[in-house]
């Protein structure tokens, strides 16, 4: 059983990681993985309206739960629901790609 804060952090971590990785695939667009690409993906996701919406939904959902309802299965179900609700489908890919600079056009970061 998770406490409210633990539930929110755990759920947000998994959902954020999923969407950052999805954004990273868009940023790379077949290019080599680099620190710059990872930073672009993280910044793009956290600056998107989706990031705030996801975190608001997690907080709202958590506020409706009792301690007995915070079981592991319920947490997994909520994570899957959020990922499904906000996943980037084919229609959104073109719009997102237009907002994210191609990694090859950005200078490489020092190690």
Residue bearing the bigger pLDDT, 66 or 33: 33
The phi-psi region of residue 66 (left if phi > 0; otherwise alpha if psi is between -120 and 50; otherwise beta) is beta
Q: Is residue 11 part of a domain?
A: yes
Q: Is residue 110 part of a domain?
A: no
In this predicted structure, what is the pLDDT of residue 107? 56
pLDDT confidence tier of residue 97, bands split at 50, 70 and 90: low
In this predicted structure, what is the pLDDT of residue 96? 64
Give the domain extent around 61.
4-103
Average pLDDT of 90-105?
62
Q: Is residue 30 part of a domain?
A: yes
**CA neighbor of 41 nearest in space, from 79, 85, 111, 97:** 97
Of 27-31, 79-83, 98-102, which one has max mean pLDDT?
Answer: 79-83
Out of 4-18, 46-60, 95-109, pick the least confident: 95-109
């Amino acid at each position: 059983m998770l406490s409210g804060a633990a539930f929110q952090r755990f759920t947000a971590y998994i959902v954020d990681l999923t969407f950052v990785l999805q954004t990273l695939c868009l940023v790379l667009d077949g290019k080599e993985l680099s620190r710059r690409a990872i930073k672009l993906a993280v910044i793009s996701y956290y600056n998107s309206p989706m990031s705030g919406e996801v975190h608001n939904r997690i907080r709202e959902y958590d506020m409706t739960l009792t301690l007995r309802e915070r079981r592991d299965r319920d947490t997994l179900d909520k994570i899957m629901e959020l990922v499904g609700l906000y996943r980037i489908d084919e229609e959104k890919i073109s719009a997102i790609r237009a907002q994210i600079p191609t990694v090859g056009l950005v200078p490489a970061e020092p190690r």
